[in-house]
Structure 1
Amino acid sequence: MRPFISTIAAATLLMACTHRPTSAVDQTKVADPLRTPADFAAIADAHARSVALYGEVSRVIESPRCLNCHPATRRPTQGDDLHPHVPYVLAGVEGHGTAGVTCATCHQSANVATFAEPATIPGNPRWALAPASMAWQGKSRGDICRQIKDPARNGGHTLAQIHHHMAEDKLVGWAWTPGMGRKPAPGTQAALGDLLTAWIETGAACPEG
């Protein structure tokens, strides 16, 4: 009975945060495709090409599907306008909510359809808020880029591990399958992975500012 009760509670609270797995979708079949590394091949200077590649990566990073779980505070946001999460919740110590108001109270292992807007409550077994050190909202592309690369803030991850997280992690992949009522992140997770590979191979340069 508990999952049923949780689903009813979730529908009543109308959650709308962000994340789930992706599949190798043909970019020609998505509404907002990403450019490919080949589109940047004409930029002769490797540093300039790397910065341009990161700019395309940023189209995903700066989408509401990602920013909602990388908020400026320890309270998540939701919707395309990044409004404060309803009901009021906080990340807690590990990003999974606080006692009595955990993410799993309403966010199940998969998306759950509702009878009102938004039409889907996000779902993933590992649903959580990003660490405080990875807050992105309100920051420039350059600041986010340097933040992502900084082991002191990214959990000690290498560029290869950052690539794996963004290009293969199923929780991140939710951004491309957010369910009815939400616009997916641009392109596909596989396309993002290709851009990240090219960005790293050209020096993982960050834009100024």
Structure 2
Amino acid sequence: MLLTTPCSIHPLWAAEDLTPASAFQNIPDDHQRSLKLFEEMAKVLTSPRCLNCHPVKGGPTQGDDMHPHNPPMVRGDGDFGPPGMHCSTCHGSQNVDFAGISGSIPGHEPWQLAPVSMGWQGLSIGEICRSIKDPNHNGDRTLEELITHHSEDGLVGWAWHPGAGRTPAPGTQVQFGELTRAWVETGAACPD
């Protein structure tokens, strides 16, 4: 299924736990196991925590409903926002709770949009899969480096600690890293 608007949420996403990589060991065929592992990874990759900062065009979206960013933002040079209104104008090095009302401004150092080449909004899970495997679209990472990125990168890890008013990505970063490793070890297969 394709995400057709920036406000759509992929049907695989829900606030739930991830199935651990070890649960897929009973699938004897490596290719089939790899496909199932990626489907589990897609619960994270298609969650609003990831998709909000992975637009294909335009600016970021925000919130669990993936509404347009307010104030309106554009990518700007270097994926840090436009001159005079960089992402860091509002987004600091950590989440900051609103005073007097529920919610927060997310933060991490650095805070930025994913490069255009890493845009996923509107893509099927198969297209996202092929994109994250492609060094031209994944920050020039090998599959082994992708495991490290998913397992250890702080901005990726923010998805599980998004601050007040946001649903975390499913599972944990450790589980996501283990799923990524198992997916790579079984051939890094992608759905059609």
Cα distance between partner residues in 1 of 2:19 and 2:119: 26
Aligned partner of 1:192 in structure 2 is 176
Aligned partner of 1:50 in structure 2 is 34
After superposition, residues 9-48 of structure 1 pair within 5 angstroms as 32-48=16-32
Unaligned runs of 5+ in 1: 1-30
1:206 aligns with 2:190: yes
Question: Could you list the per-position Cα deviations for residues 24-58 of structure 1 after superposition, in whole angstroms to 9, with x for gaps in the alignment?
Answer: xxxxxxx7211112211111100000000000000
After superposition, residues 104-115 of structure 1 pair within 5 angstroms as 104-115=88-99
Aligned partner of 1:142 in structure 2 is 126
Decide whether the 8 Å contact of 1:70 with 1:129 is kept in 2: yes
Residues 116/65 of structure 1: CA separation in 2 closer, same or farther (3 Å cut): farther
Cα distance between partner residues in 2 of 1:133 and 1:49: 28
Larger-gyration structure (1/2): 1
Shift of 1:82: 1.0
User: Taking every aligned residue pair, what percent have the same amino acid on both sides?
Assistant: 53
Kindly indicate whether structure 1 or structure 2 has the higher relative contact order, using CA contacts under 8 Å at least 6 residues apart.
Answer: 1
When normalised by structure 1's length, the TM-score is 0.82
Q: Could you tell me which of 144, 157, 164 is aligned with 1:173?
A: 157
1:163 aligns with 2:160: no
Unaligned runs of 5+ in 2: 1-14
Q: Could you tell me which of 125, 129, 151 is aligned with 2:135?
A: 151
When normalised by structure 2's length, the TM-score is 0.89
Shift of 1:74: 3.1
Cα distance between partner residues in 2 of 1:104 and 1:150: 29
Q: Could you tell me which of 88, 97, 101 is aligned with 2:72?
A: 88
How many pairs does the alignment contain?
A: 178
Instruction: Answer with 52-61 or 93-102: which moved more.
Output: 93-102
